[in-house]
Amino acid sequence: MLEAHRYRYATKKFDSTKKVSDEDFNTIMEAARLSPSSFGFEPWKFLLINSEKIREELKPFSWGAVNSLNGASHFVIGLIKKNITVDSPLVKHIIEDVWGSTLEEKKRHLHFFQEFQENDFKLLNNPRALFDWSSKQSYLALANMMTTAAFLGIDSCPIEGFNHEKAEQYFSEIGVLDTSEYGISFMVSFGYRDEVQPPKTRQSMSEILEVIS
Ligand SMILES: Cc1cc2nc3c(=O)[nH]c(=O)nc-3n(C[C@H](O)[C@H](O)[C@H](O)COP(=O)(O)O)c2cc1C
């Protein structure tokens, strides 16, 4: 069970001659699609960047992605939906189209969602807090994608090493990102290593787990 977790590491050098198959990439994306999200609202979307031109143009403001852009087989941008509240079109879409239910039937669920946002986590009227809340959900998808890749013997690198403003501006200018609706949460690459995996270093279990009886 832990084999995949030990196999996965943030790959710095990819073999540019090796490509992840469509079947495997679909499995990785399916892991994203099946990921859990707060209240089940799936506040994410993914851009698969297949254009060499775009990959080149990302480099100047994506220092943490350069290794991946140079050799990874697949390069994905994780987007999140901004400003999700009880009245958002996404919430209506999920309830009606995805769950096959109605706003009336889900009144209780929506009540708890409203309470959660307003009082429990105090997210309302704070675009940054709402952005980060959506972003948290998308990181679950990110983790599942990378672990699933590792199970398939595929390497990956999660990426936050980019200038957020410049990246959003870039994708907006090339017409693939409407920043009034979506924001960039993360980048992630997939491919095959062309280096020896460094030893895993982590804090000990006793440092990170405190049992409260
Ligand atoms: C959210 C997130 C963002 C990261 N951003 C980058 C990045 O931009 N570039 C990079 O090479 N590694 C990046 N990493 C990799 C971490 O440095 C790496 O996961 C950590 O040092 C632990 O090492 P390991 O994943 O190889 O076990 C990121 C990791 C996470 C979880």
Strand order in the sheet with 155-159: 44-48, 74-81, 182-191, 155-159
pLDDT in tens, 17-31: 999 999 999 999 999
> Distance, CA 13 to ligand 1 centroid (Å)?
13
pLDDT at 10: 98
With beta carbons less than 8 A apart as the criterion, state whether 44 and 145 touch.
no
The structural domains of the chain, ordered by start, are: 3-85+124-208 (3.40.109.10)
State the DSSP code for 63.
G
> Distance, CA 70 to ligand 1 centroid (Å)?
17
Residue 112: Cβ within 10 Å count = 12
Q: Both tokens of residue 9? A: 């590491």
Helix (H) or strand (E) holding 110: helix 107-115
pLDDT grade, residue 32 (50/70/90)?
A: very high
pLDDT at 71: 96
Helix (H) or strand (E) holding 159: strand 155-159
Q: What residue's CA is closest to ligand 1, atom 24?
A: 9
Mean pLDDT of 86-103: 98
If you search the block for the tokens 């399916």, which residue do you land on? 30
Q: Is the CB of 122 under 6 A from ligand 1?
A: no
pLDDT at 18: 98
Q: Is the CB of 142 under 6 A from ligand 1?
A: no
pLDDT in tens, 115-170: 999 999 999 999 999 999 999 999 999 999 999 999 999 999 999 999 999 999 99
Mean pLDDT (the chain, rounded):
98
> Distance, CA 86 to ligand 1 centroid (Å)?
34
With beta carbons less than 8 A apart as the criterion, state whether 139 and 146 touch.
no
pLDDT at 31: 98
Mean pLDDT of 163-187: 98
